[in-house]
Structure 1
């Protein structure tokens, strides 16, 4: 069964140590040995040399491990023992976890993206607009997971439908959803240049939302920013519902 980032749960022993502060390497051995009898100090140092764990160092040079460090070690050891994965592949898993992704199933070649929450009717909820994903996809990962071509991605970028996060070369889950949707629409003959109309309509809706919340932004109290964020999420969800229902109604009347 594939390991997930969410599967890594601190053990009770690790939790008790964390209550008293970070652990030294001997305490880490005490925590891990019940599950991994072959763990040794040289083994832990070797994994650190490979860059898979990065415990803090005291001014005197002693290693200090957090609970997260221990659970990272537990993940590495489990992948080696149960799935016989080489350290290079385990390192790729850990790098994916660090970027907010889920590690891939053992048989897969790319990480998987957490499911985007939708309402039961398929429409995004206000919570989905408020939620900000920390997933970061490389260009290669976006193309692979969305199952699109490099050419299609270049066209989507050309028409302003997809772009990397500002200041990075990574793409988020919104870019993934747009890419997947563009691929599915392409099966019906839609080209990226046709989708520009959707972007123009969306920009107009964004402009309307910004006009409505502009007075709230002038609030001086500390809660004003929170009220703005809540209002934007609610209005955005309502506008998408209205847009979708108008399209559905128009098609039924055609």
Structure 2
């Protein structure tokens, strides 16, 4: 083999290692010039509830690694922002635990898998799903395509609980939609009180799990409490769904 051929062969062998050495996402600028306030401004378009403490907590978990200036301030690159967007999207859309997200990012970093950076999209204040600013009973009924009397009855039975000034959270849409479908089968709002009671008991379990973190004063502890509450809450929901499916499995011929 001639020297040029050896050089080409060596370059070909080194190329995959060079690609794998660059953390995901690849091809984006890694020049760290963005302050944490700039990152929040970029992410809050899609994740309005994201905070400084949340970003610091994700850093502590090793999911993002901003540059530290000589005076100790964090600076982020466009690649860091997309990495954070990926983490927040996995949490919001797939309820994925941070441990699993970390494993997924590790695979992406190692070049074992690849994925395009997520595209930004608008969301509500809690970053769950598109919603109006004031989800009143009338607006909820209109957007769900149901009579306002159904929403009123769900409130009267304690299934739905409006917040300040009669405004509902984004999850009320799903509750109303499912309640409307169940009513087609003769299941009225009064029958759904057991679901509300079960949800409250599960919420109490979640509160017990996150209580040690909520009781701490550090911002990272409060961010961890929020993340843990979302993860454990989703596991409780999955457990409830699995048990109901198991209970009705033998009812079908």
- TM-score scaled by length of structure 2: 0.47
- TM-score scaled by length of structure 1: 0.46
Q: Which has the higher contact order (CA 8 A, sep 6+)?
A: 2
